[in-house]
Amino acid sequence: MRRSAVMSITKTVEKYVQEHPSVKDCLKKGLVNYSALARQIAEELGLDAERNFDALLIAARRSHEKVAKEKDSQEKILSVLRQSRVEIKNRMVAFVLERGVPPKSLTDLENKAKKAGEVLHIIEGVSAMTLITVEELSKEIRSLFRNFIIRENKELVEVILKSPKEIEQTAGIMGYLCSLLGENGVNIVEEMSCWTDTIFLVQEKDLGKVMELLKF
């Protein structure tokens, strides 16, 4: 097999591993049958298993060596998470709005939330804006932005992970948490971070599962 073809197989296997966290986790722990993994990748990606088997097998073994080096990184992440504490805010809502809402309306909402001592997050994207706040302000939002509302998500919970300042120097924490929740069937409605706070907005029905998963 030509070197270019081997390199292509190697990149294909690396991409496959990155896109399948459960496979990656088993590789880290040395729990993978490399021959079986090579055949599985060939089958799922429509590759000629007989022709490419050796290259796939070698790439699978190299993937183990590569992800095994990530153990130290994961331990650093877990060390920070074990020192973190979880806070919960229930009865939350999220409104997705079109861009171009009147600035005065946003200011009015911010003032009302501040006066009530309630949380209000404003996330601006390229084509839309998301407002996250308590249910009590839903009526006010519908009144102020009735012509701009794209979607309203109810029955949400805000999960705040408060970590030590070491989180600033620890790469990969958000990715680790998103993978952890996603692999266990938790839909993350929104995610954000502010210095040592990592914030997830999830559905109320998933709160019990989230709390169990965040026990490090």
Tell me the CATH number at 92: 3.30.2130.10
Pair 81, 216: CB distance under 8 Å: yes
d(CA 205, CA 86): 17
Which domain-ending residue is among 29, 45, 69? 69
Tell me the one-letter amino acid at 98.
E
pLDDT digits (tens, 9 = 90+) for 117-148: 999 999 999 999 999 999 999 999 999 999 99
What is the total count of domains within the chain? 2
For 36, 43, 62, the CA distances from 49, given in Å and listed in that order, are 11, 7, 18
Q: Are residues 107 and 139 in the same domain?
A: yes
Q: Are residues 32 and 129 in the same domain?
A: no
Q: In terms of residue numbers, what domain contains 149?
A: 81-213
Q: Are residues 98 and 26 in the same domain?
A: no
Q: Are residues 53 and 103 in the same domain?
A: no
Q: Are residues 34 and 65 in the same domain?
A: yes
Q: How confident is the model at residue 5, as a pLDDT?
A: 55
Tell me the one-letter amino acid at 87.
E
Pair 149, 187: CB distance under 8 Å: no
> Residue 197 falls within a domain, yes or no?
yes
Residue ranges in the chain modelled with pLDDT below 50: 2
Which domain-ending residue is among 14, 46, 69? 69
Exposed/middle/buried for 171, CB within 10 Å: 0-12, 13-18, 19+?
Answer: exposed
> Residue 75 falls within a domain, yes or no?
no
Q: Are residues 163 and 129 in the same domain?
A: yes
Q: How confident is the model at residue 24, as a pLDDT?
A: 87
